[in-house]
Amino acid sequence: MIRLIKREEISKMNSIKVRVIAVILALVVAGIFLALMSFDPMKVFPGMLKGSFGSPYRVRQTIIRAIPLVITAIGISVAFKMQFWNIGGDGQIFMGAFGAALVALNLSALPKPILLILMAISAMFFGALWGAVAGVIKVYFNTNETIITLMLNYIALKFITFLQYDFWRDKKAMNFPKIANFSENAILPKVFNIHAGWIIALIVVIIFYIIMKKSKLGYEIAVLGESKNTARYAGININKTILAAVCISGALCGLTGFIQASAVSQTLSVEVTGGVGYTAIIVAWLSNLNSIIILVVSVLFAGLVEGGSYIQTAFGIPNAAASVIQALLLFFVLGSELFIRYKVSIRRLKP
Tell me the pLDDT tens digit for each residue of 170-229.
Answer: 988 888 899 999 999 999 999 999 999 999 999 999 999 999 999 999 999 999 988 889
What one-character-per-residue DSSP string does 85-103 give?
----HHHHHHHHHHHHHHH
Average pLDDT, the chain: 92
Q: What percent of the chain has pLDDT over 70?
A: 99
Mean pLDDT throughout 260-283?
95
pLDDT score, position 30 = 93
Positive/negative CA dihedral, 278, 283, 287, 293: negative
Under the banding of pLDDT at 50, 70 and 90, the label for residue 8 is confident
Q: What percent of the chain has pLDDT over 90?
A: 76
pTM of the predicted model as reported, rounded to 2 decimal places: 0.92
Under the banding of pLDDT at 50, 70 and 90, the label for residue 349 is low
337 pLDDT exceeds 90?
no
pLDDT score, position 153 = 97
Mean pLDDT throughout 241-255?
97
Mean pLDDT throughout 23-44?
93
* Angle made by CA atoms 272, 278, 279, in degrees to the nearest 5: 90
User: Is the pLDDT higher at 272 or at 349?
Assistant: 272
Confirm if 16 and 296 have CB atoms less than 8 A apart: no
Mean pLDDT throughout 161-175?
91
pLDDT score, position 1 = 67
pLDDT score, position 350 = 60
Tell me the pLDDT tens digit for each residue of 73-117.
Answer: 999 999 999 999 999 999 999 999 999 999 999 999 999 999 999
Gap between the Cα atoms of 182 and 267, Å rounded: 6
